[in-house]
Structure 1
Amino acid sequence: MITLRHSYLALAISSLLATPVVANQAAFEIIEVSGSHLTDDSTISREANVPVADISSLLSQLPGAAVNGNGPLTGIAQYRGLFGDRVNTQVNGVTLAGAGPNAMDTPLSYASLVNSERLEMSRGIAPVSAGTNTLGGSVKVVESQARFDEFSGKVAARYQHNGEQAHLGAKTNFGTEQQALLLYGDAMQANANQQTGAGIDIAPTTYDKAIVGGQYRFNLSDKGFDDESIAIGYQHLETTNAGTPALPMDIDFIRTDRVKLEGQHLLNNWDINWHLAYSDARHGMDNFSERVKNDTASARYNNADSKSIDGSVSIAKAAWLFGLDTQWSQHDSVITDPTKPMFKVDNFNGVTDNTISAFAQWQQDIDQWNWQLGLRVKHYQTDADAVNHSMAASMPAIKVLMDRYNAADRSQSQTGVDLVVNGRYQVDESLSWIVAAARKQDSASYQQRYLWVPMQSTGGLADGRTYVGQMDLSLETAYQLELGADYQDNRLQLSPRLFWQRIDDYIQGINATDKAVIMAAQMMGDSHPLQFANVDAQLYGMDISARYRLNDQLQLDMLASYVRGERRDIDDSLYRIAPPNITVGLNYQRGAWLARIEALGVSAQHKVSSTQQEMQTSGYGLVNLSLAYDADIWLVKAGVNNLFDTEYQEHLGGYNRVANSQLALGERMPGTGINAWLIGEYRF
């Protein structure tokens, strides 16, 4: 297990890794970005880079990970070239569905900034215990829990001049021997659009977001321990007037209520953990409130909602871990035109997406080896209600698609199996070798199955293309292999990984050939629509983290990633693959003073998807500075990002979808220019 810690006021306002420490008996790795302040055993070799509005921004600082950014609050996790639903993403131990059919409320957007303690990523091939769908890895946000026998709290604040972004958060814990109560809240706001290095507005990138929540925990132990308890937690999220310039609409509102009931128990030396969580999410979005639409464009408003349940129970004893997981969700999305009351389109109607799965995992030391073996069996069931389109009577192509969809058997049922083997061979105290292999399967998203008329409700692909779904998509099947090493002595820590995976029935858009689909898309201004289909693909590459201690005050660190994604059935690249990149930092610590200078280099990305008409991007380099004073109960930190105000384009940022802005329609989204920031924290 690799644990990386750094000193910073909260997970929400940190963004780089800290010191890796190798635990001899782990068969896989967890990378942890912690919000606790410095201890004697931690360093700042990956000290925080910049405050963030969304926890997804931290992912780009983990080896092999990146962020598909569609807006300041809309980051989608990417790991080694796979993104979206392929990456198991949990917040507070649960997987709950968002309301937005274009992933405006991504899973990580539900993490409280002030209440998040750490971000965990299973580096490499995720074990079956990490979650139901881990073909693309596993990322988890661990939030603070109500603690017994403790009175504590924290107040955190930050400000960024680029975009006039501010955050204020607070949490407090009241705990006796038998009961504990945790309360927390965040308020985030951006009052201006962010600007590029050339002074161009990235519009719209304003936002207003608030999260409030709490947890009550009751101690069931009659011995005064806290290893047997039951708890109930609640969270309310409200986002308004938030821009997503890489998508065809912006956020009018997101209102979500989440409840989680959980418990942990000991029974005859078996450790039992369980939870049941419920989410009710409502979402409104449009193309006219935050952006100025063209006079020739029609006004559109989308009302979407989802309800979801996530349940889990696991039992563990000695080398064995068993579990049962279930996820249930229902999605509805209706598009209207405020200027034409008769216009109405069922984007998604009564879509259900349900999964039940069971797993068994064994982990044991055998001589110098540590082995972890896992099996998960999962059953997927999806269905949808009939749809309607107000223009079907006057548009024959739309009527053909609607009638065909409504007449089809929309119920789908599939069973998948995951098999994982992770091994670590301990050569000596300094060196260990890593080998891992897996066969994993994943199901299509509900958008990929049930998008019946050409639209851009694609789960946040942000490629500007219109798509239709395919109900009978096969399960994606991946064969994965990883080789690596961990080396650590008094000065040097080095952790390289090589990976390869072959994916049969990979799901992506291909050129549509159906005449009705093409005709319907042409009515909406797209002559080359895509249809989700099964193809064959492979991804391979490497990532590496390293650190070198120059002396007691100075340390160097490095993080580098390379991934290549390509089709196997035709000569083409996969869409939205992170370019090769490297980050090198020099850290200084003396007493409570902390400082860091960091250089980020991103290569050009010329290996792009011609099928999705993906544009190439050029390489660039950035320099970031930070300085902090970290006392026992308070911290003050200041910094400057993109010190030289470099103008560059984000390859994973999508394309500008906003007309009448300073950016050309369809232009690659640029990165932000120079950004000075200040943060502070008081702990008690």
Structure 2
Amino acid sequence: FEAGARYENARYDADEGSPDVEHDIYSVSAGAVRSFGEDYSAGISVTRAQRAPSLEELYNDGPHLATGTFERGDTALDPETANNLDLTLRKSEGRWTWRVSAFANLIEDFIFADSVDANGDGMADRVDEEGNPVPDGDLLSLAFVQDDAIFYGAEAETVFEIFEGTSYGELDARLFADYVRGKLTDGDDLPRITPPRVGGGLDYRLGAWSGDFEVMRVAKQTDNAALETATDGYTQVDLGVSYTFGTKPADLTLALRGTNLLDEEERRHTSFLKDIAPLPGRSVLLTVRTSF
């Protein structure tokens, strides 16, 4: 059993023309883990944690070219208060290991960057670098706002040793999946929430050789905020092999890795740039790494 508490004073002394901001932040947490024999354990943790608005959330008022956005902060933002419950069950020993976890998080005054629709046409506003509305502007207009929100989800992972300690080397199979849902307490969807994912792979080792193969399916995200576009799902296939010369602390590893081998059009729903900049297509990378 563990428990903890924390106090923090967050203060921002602004330049002339902007107000100073100060918040007292309190957090408490408790957790416990119970073992069942040598293989199994269950855990629970409960947290009530506050977070002060960040500098960017309070004072930003300009372009952020790396994300293609124009952000406007709000010095009237209150601290977030998160009430979180985490549950975990795992099997950590033996040929077959696995872990399952679930969480629920109710956040009062959750702060997020929301798209702006100043003219009410049902589309997110585009602006220039000065923040002026332009139909084909390069930047997406965002405002930091807050509202009560709830997040919940689950994830699972399992690994099975197909063979180990043989002349054929070692081979493990693994499966994984995760799901996250995020929405305001009034039922509206939050922007940029990770879509469900499921996948599996193989990991192989034989002396200085190692290799891995993974397939991951990312689902289409249809639980979108009012001014947010849907993001199609995709299947990513990766394959890698490596060979290590010498032994630590002085060794050299030669590795060949291929990613997105199906050359799928992949767009990350959590990215501000997803509609204009997809993830890289098929790629093959040869690397040499040494340590000494």
| Interval containing the TM-score (normalised by the shorter chain) | 0.7 to 0.9
Partner residue of 2:132? 523
1:404-419 equivalence runs, <5 A: 406=17, 410-419=19-28
Q: Is the 8 A contact 2:151 2:181 kept in 1?
A: yes
Higher strand share: 2
The partner residue of 2:96 within 492, 506, 519 is 492
Partner residue of 1:537? 149
Q: Is the 8 A contact 1:636 1:681 kept in 2?
A: yes
Partner residue of 2:236? 622
Supply the RMSD in Å over aligned alpha carbons: 2.7
Matched, 1:636 2:254: yes
Find the residue that maps to 1:545 and give its secondary structure. Answer: strand
Q: CA 1:573–1:468 in structure 2 vs 1: closer, same or farther (change >3 Å)? A: same
Q: Is the 8 A contact 1:653 1:670 kept in 2?
A: no
Q: Is the 8 A contact 1:587 1:597 kept in 2?
A: yes
Partner residue of 2:14? 384
Partner residue of 1:449? 58
Task: Measure the CA separation in 1 of the matches of 2:73 and 2:205.
Answer: 54
Q: Is the 8 A contact 2:148 2:184 kept in 1?
A: yes
Shift of 1:509: 4.2
Q: Is the 8 A contact 1:566 1:573 kept in 2?
A: yes
The one-letter amino acid paired with 2:183 is: E
Task: Measure the CA separation in 1 of the matches of 2:89 and 2:290.
Answer: 40
Q: CA deviation digits over 1:465-519, x for unaligned, max 9?
A: 5442221211000000011111134211111110010000111245587xxxx9x
The partner residue of 2:112 within 477, 500, 508 is 508
Shift of 1:445: 1.5
Residue segments in structure 2 that go unaligned for 5+ positions in a row: 119-124, 165-169
Partner residue of 2:192? 576
Higher helix share: 1
Task: Measure the CA separation in 1 of the matches of 2:279 and 2:177.
Answer: 20
TM normalised by structure 2 equals: 0.84
TM normalised by structure 1 equals: 0.37
The partner residue of 2:4 within 367, 370, 374 is 374
Task: Measure the CA separation in 2 of the matches of 1:525 and 1:646.
Answer: 32
Find the residue that maps to 2:163 and give its secondary structure. Answer: coil
Q: CA 1:572–1:428 in structure 2 vs 1: closer, same or farther (change >3 Å)? A: same
Partner residue of 2:122? none
Task: Tell me which of the two structures has the higher relative contact order, counting C-alpha pairs closer than 8 angstroms and 6 or more residues apart.
Answer: 1
Task: Measure the CA separation in 1 of the matches of 2:54 and 2:23.
Answer: 13
Q: CA deviation digits over 1:309-362, x for unaligned, max 9?
A: xxxxxxxxxxxxxxxxxxxxxxxxxxxxxxxxxxxxxxxxxxxxxxxxxxxxxx
The partner residue of 1:674 within 264, 274, 282 is 282
Q: Is the 8 A contact 2:39 2:94 kept in 1?
A: no
Q: CA 1:413–1:547 in structure 2 vs 1: closer, same or farther (change >3 Å)? A: same
Shift of 1:672: 1.1
Q: Is the 8 A contact 1:653 1:669 kept in 2?
A: no
The one-letter amino acid paired with 2:281 is: G
Q: Is the 8 A contact 1:506 1:535 kept in 2?
A: yes
Find the residue that maps to 1:502 and give its secondary structure. Answer: strand
Task: Measure the CA separation in 2 of the matches of 1:628 and 1:523.
Answer: 52
1:415-454 equivalence runs, <5 A: 415-452=24-61
Shift of 1:597: 1.5
Find the residue that maps to 1:652 and give its secondary structure. Answer: coil
Partner residue of 2:179? 562
1:27-176 equivalence runs, <5 A: none
Task: Measure the CA separation in 2 of the matches of 1:420 and 1:602.
Answer: 33
Matched, 1:548 2:160: yes
Task: Measure the CA separation in 1 of the matches of 2:142 and 2:171.
Answer: 52
Q: Is the 8 A contact 1:602 1:619 kept in 2?
A: yes
Matched, 1:608 2:224: yes
Task: Measure the CA separation in 2 of the matches of 1:439 and 1:541.
Answer: 18
Q: CA 1:380–1:627 in structure 2 vs 1: closer, same or farther (change >3 Å)? A: same
Task: Measure the CA separation in 1 of the matches of 2:151 and 2:72.
Answer: 25
Q: Is the 8 A contact 1:572 1:609 kept in 2?
A: yes
Shift of 1:654: 2.6
The one-letter amino acid paired with 2:242 is: A
Q: Is the 8 A contact 1:593 1:629 kept in 2?
A: yes
Shift of 1:668: 4.0
Q: CA 1:593–1:482 in structure 2 vs 1: closer, same or farther (change >3 Å)? A: same
Residue segments in structure 1 that go unaligned for 5+ positions in a row: 1-370, 387-405, 657-666
Q: Is the 8 A contact 2:173 2:203 kept in 1?
A: yes
Task: Measure the CA separation in 1 of the matches of 2:196 and 2:291.
Answer: 39
Partner residue of 2:79? 475
Shift of 1:529: 5.3
Partner residue of 1:652? 270
The number of equivalent residue pairs is: 272
